[in-house]
Amino acid sequence: MNYSIKQIIKKAAEKLILQKGFRDTTIKEISRGAKISVGTIYRYYKSKEEILNDIGRMDLKDVSYSQDNKRKEIMDVALDVFGTKGYTRTNMEDIANKMGMSKAFIYQYFNNKDELFLSTIRESSQIQTIFNLSKVNKESINIEEILTKIGMKILSIFKNPQKLKLMRIIIAETPNFPEIGELFFCQVVGRVTEALNEILRSHASSDIDPVLSIRLFIGAIWSLVFLQEMLPLDDRNYDDETIVKNAVKIFQRGTLKYDTD
């Protein structure tokens, strides 16, 4: 039991110190991250230095805010390299070379390629903006307007090269890293579905599953643009407004109780 609690404390401490720097990380913040009391931490460790010593990463004592910026820089470059070469064909040397740094520099921040890869996906500024898809105006009663905004936000992902690379990584690597697929589903699809369901459930026909209908709406836009933008198809391309307008009309006529004409 003591071993598992210490592991939780060390994991929370390491994560916070890498994010905020050693000096600016407090025992109280570590306790929050570990979801245990400050008193519990002091039962096992007298100080932050003692936690670092147990982790075996005394180098983290020198981590400052400027170094945190370096960590973000590493992840930005890693996203680009992983998105171009894929996880399997990427090694730490590729990322170091693109940064003009040594592998040893990267290992000051990440223990191995797995840790760098997962941190890049979880903490990427690109995935944070994708998560914002769930922020719909619940006060609005204009369902067509809400659906149109959601549809346009989904399409905007495919206009941003970095977000597109992130999507390629998530799709390609989820079989090997199920946690990133679960993260994406819960934070993007799940949250958008939950927010829209709260607005639409009272308007849906009784024989229609509103949650399934919302996922079909998201999937219809996503899959069409995925094929159009990511695969070299010699088929007709549709502009964003046409795609969203048609998807919204199909959703309204097939899901809602009233006629939207």
Verify that 244 and 167 share a domain, yes or no: yes
Verify that 99 and 159 share a domain, yes or no: no
Please name which of 215, 46, 188 lies closest in space to residue 128, comparing C-alpha atoms: 188
Q: What is the pLDDT of residue 71?
A: 85
Q: What is the pLDDT of residue 261?
A: 47
The DSSP call for residue 59 is: G
Three-state secondary structure of 149-176: HHHHHHHHHCCCHHHHHHHHHHHHHCCC
Q: What is the pLDDT of residue 68?
A: 66
Verify that 40 and 132 share a domain, yes or no: no
CA–CA dist 5, 1 (Å, integer): 6
Dihedral sign for Cα 187, 188, 192, 194, please.
negative
**121 part of a folded domain:** no
**119 part of a folded domain:** no
**13 part of a folded domain:** yes
**231 part of a folded domain:** yes
CA–CA dist 163, 189 (Å, integer): 16
Q: What is the pLDDT of residue 96?
A: 92
Q: Domain containing 77: what range? A: 67-113
Q: What is the pLDDT of residue 220?
A: 86
Q: What is the pLDDT of residue 260?
A: 46
In CATH, what number is assigned to the domain containing residue 186? 1.10.357.10
Dihedral angle over CA of 109, 115, 116, 120, nearest 10: -120
In CATH, what number is assigned to the domain containing residue 83? 1.10.10.60
Verify that 215 and 196 share a domain, yes or no: yes
Backbone angles phi and psi of 256, in degrees to 5: -85, 160
Verify that 8 and 102 share a domain, yes or no: no
Verify that 85 and 51 share a domain, yes or no: no
pTM: 0.56
Residue 130 near residue 157 (C-beta atoms within 8 A): yes
The DSSP call for residue 237 is: P
Query: What are the residues whose beta carbons fall under 8 Å from the beta carbon of 198, sequence distance 6 or more?
Result: 138
Q: Which of the residues in the chain have pLDDT under 70?
A: 1-3, 19-20, 62-68, 125-141, 229-236, 257-261
Q: What is the pLDDT of residue 37?
A: 93
Q: What is the pLDDT of residue 160?
A: 76
